[in-house]
Amino acid sequence: MTKICPKCKTENSDNADFCQNCGTELKGSTDAVNSNETSGNGVIGFWNKQSSRGKLGIGIGGICCIGLILIIAISAFMAPDATTTTTNLNNTPTSPSTPSTDTSTNSSGTSVTAGQEQAAKMAQSYLNTMAFSRSGLIKQLKYEGFTQQEAEYGVDQTNADWNAQAAKMAQSYLDSQSFSRSGLIEQLEFEGFTRQQAEYGVQATGL
């Protein structure tokens, strides 16, 4: 085993007491000592100084770091391209808006206008308060501003029993004034009832 001069690093024989190059006293410096000192520095020296538990912790930490790096790399690879996504959204065709209409569909599938719906509501409202013939109620709705078509639709939607309406009007007349049978029939015909409806209405009163 040789002795290394601590000053000039010259190798000397094992039994030399002074460096043959610079004359420095060697004091037992050897290769083994320097080798041990060197091995105590750097990564290898740090690793050799760790206990078994410390080495295990370092190993686990290293594995976790590697796993995290792999996850980040995979996520970055699989993430959709923001530019492509934006382009696709911008190129998505939009369906043309459907213009709104004021029509609806009844149970029979027939298109119904808003005016017809309102006429039907008003016709029913009138029948809830007083008696009308079909033609008389149509005239009343036209007076309220509905068209002939709207008025006829509204009246027909009530599904009114016109014989019953004739009887109701006949009784209303008799409650306020006196009539002969023929006179009351004529009055009901004047109100728009047919001859048959008028006769039924008067007979229903017992006249």
Domain holding 194, by residue range, is 114-205
154, 116 in Cβ contact below 8 A?
yes
Indicate the pTM of the whole model. 0.49
Domain annotation covers residue 53: yes
Among 40, 65, 90, residue at a domain's last position? 65
122 and 55, same structural domain?
no
Domain annotation covers residue 100: no
Domain annotation covers residue 79: no
**Per residue in 117-171, pLDDT tens?**
999 999 999 999 999 999 999 999 999 999 999 999 999 999 999 999 999 999 9
**Per residue in 193-207, pLDDT tens?**
999 999 999 999 999
Q: For residue 143, how many other CB atoms are within 10 A of its CB? A: 9
198 and 132, same structural domain?
yes
122, 104 in Cβ contact below 8 A?
no
**Per residue in 173-194, pLDDT tens?**
999 999 999 999 999 999 999 9
Q: What is the dihedral of CA 79, 84, 87, 93, to 10 degrees?
A: -80
Q: How many structural domains comprise the chain?
A: 2
**Predicted local confidence at residue 13, as pLDDT:** 81
191 and 121, same structural domain?
yes
Domain annotation covers residue 99: no
